[in-house]
Structure 1
Amino acid sequence: MGFLPPEQGGHALDSTPDGLPVSGVAVHYPTGHVVPEHRHPQGHLIYADRGLLRVEAQSGQWLVPPTAAVWLRAGVAHRLVVPVALQAHGLFVREDLCARLPAVDCVVHVSGLLRELIMALTQSDIPGGVRRRQLLGELLVEELHAQPLLPLHLPWPPGGADSALQQVCQALVDDPGDSATAAEWASRLAIGDKTFQRRFLQATGMTFGRWRQQLRLMSSLTLLLQGLPITQVALACGYDSHSAYSTAFRKQFGQTPSAFVATR
């Protein structure tokens, strides 16, 4: 059950139904690895105890630092992108228990207890037998229910691959430092500035400026974990200075970039 290792193609497998509340698996992925789009019939929690994992679904993208995990509802198609090498942990929650968990796909905080439960439930051989696995799974659901949601979600415009707004968003994902204004993007699409702003807000639930800042801050996490100097990260992600970037980072994540790096 879980993910097929990279050397076998990196595809995902569904967990084997066994009646237990939660089952899980852990797999190491190298830098640059991609697990193709797949889905699971159970609720799915994805956690990386080191590195940084990107989860992509039709509704948006999520970045998972070691203090957070992505929660996906049952049946949500998604793929995994590995910017830096990591250990991925996949937990599968029995469908009848998902009613107590978030009704939307999201990023949740990982408390110390939740982390230890994830580690225990993704061991290949959990000591203590079925009863212990059941108790650990029930406790994981309780602890997951209590976790706050985190602002690490980047909403994605609906529509097909040729959607104009999707192309704008993908261009910015490819180059977070792109400085083109909303008016310039509107001109490229041959529409008015106000029309572009309105359509973007309707499609993503965020203004263009707020969405781009969210993207830049999320993208900067990968560069920080790769060991790049903070000033270089700031410039690569479209900020004019170290201080401007640090201010935005602290407002979004509650700590400075240097503090974030120091705890990883």
Structure 2
Amino acid sequence: MPAQILTHTRIDLLDVVPDAAHPVRVRARNLEAAELLHAHSHPWGQVTYAAEGVLRVSVGNSTWIVPPLRAIWIPPLVEHEIATMEKSQLRALYVHSDLAPFDGRQCIVLEVSTLLRELIAALSQVNEDSQRETLISQLILNELAEAKTQAIRIALPTEKRLHAICQALIETPDSNTTLADWAQQVGASERTLARLFERDLGMTFGQWRQQIRLAHAAPMIARGMPLSLVATELGYASQSAFSAMFRKTFGQSPSTFFAPKKN
């Protein structure tokens, strides 16, 4: 029986708990923009993926912006929160802890290959307890283990004033508001804020804002937006300036980094 597609964000997982007979289960949700699955955890691992749309996944003091060509592996028992940044088709894979494709308690960014995308779609349509379900699950576990990629992880601060600044920049990544301007808004000196960025996040204000812009570039590029327009939308002076910054960070061009992997 095909997976039921939910249109709400209530956390009700009893019908999709993975076990020895069903090591990979799928939860399908079609959600509008700005919806939130509140922080929760479970004894099994999870692959968070949007077939369409863009997600923001938050774990502890880190957040990831996840376009359709990427997914996030969340280990068992790790508390996580998922928000939709635009209308999204959320497909969460639940993986039995004994068969987790990755060790440790760190989240991992995954590249969603053409094969993995089709396997996820197939699992959501397969009849439960069938041989086809078993085979698809085995293929998914194998494909996940090969799917690591470079992360676009955004560290979040704990300090109240920094948190306000960072949340505002996540919402408006093209903002060119200077640290001095922010200092006036949050009631602190520019020197104090600079010191807090170094202490809490291990980087300068400019470096952190750069990470935000690169993360927001992912869904734009995934939708096929021209790089010149991506650069403009994110506040870069030119396409070449954006591409140079991207290559410096990831060692390859934006078009290469986000090109779908063929299988």
Conserved in 1, the CA contact under 8 Å of 2:26 and 2:91?
yes
In the alignment, what sits opposite 1:149? 149
Distance 1:238 1:157, change over 3 A: same
Q: How far has the Cα of 1:70 moved from its partner?
A: 0.9
Conserved in 1, the CA contact under 8 Å of 2:198 and 2:204?
yes
What secondary structure, in the 3-state scheme, does the structure 2 residue paired with 1:169 have?
A: helix
2:196 to 186, 194, 199: 199
Number of residue pairs the alignment of both structures matches: 254
Distance 1:58 1:262, change over 3 A: closer
> 2 CA distance for matches of 1:195 and 1:102?
36
Q: How far has the Cα of 1:182 moved from its partner?
A: 3.6
Conserved in 2, the CA contact under 8 Å of 1:26 and 1:123?
no
Distance 1:100 1:203, change over 3 A: same
In the alignment, what sits opposite 1:237? 234
> 2 CA distance for matches of 1:225 and 1:219?
11
Distance 1:144 1:224, change over 3 A: closer
Q: How far has the Cα of 1:169 moved from its partner?
A: 0.4
TM-score, with structure 2 as normaliser: 0.78
* Partner AA of 2:205 in structure 1: F
In the alignment, what sits opposite 2:17? 16
Conserved in 2, the CA contact under 8 Å of 1:246 and 1:257?
no
In the alignment, what sits opposite 1:70? 72
Distance 1:149 1:103, change over 3 A: farther
1:220 to 217, 221, 227: 217
In the alignment, what sits opposite 2:47? 45
In the alignment, what sits opposite 1:168? 165
Instruction: Give RMSD over aligned pairs.
Output: 3.4
Q: How far has the Cα of 1:192 moved from its partner?
A: 5.4
Taking only the aligned residue pairs, the percentage that are identical comes to 32
Name stretches of at least 5 consecutive residues in structure 2 with no aligned partner: none
What secondary structure, in the 3-state scheme, does the structure 1 residue paired with 2:206 have?
A: helix
> 1 CA distance for matches of 2:23 and 2:221?
36
Task: Choose between structure 1 and 2 for higher RCO, CA contacts under 8 A separated by at least 6 residues.
Answer: 2
> 2 CA distance for matches of 1:56 and 1:45?
13
Is 1:210 aligned to 2:211, yes or no? no
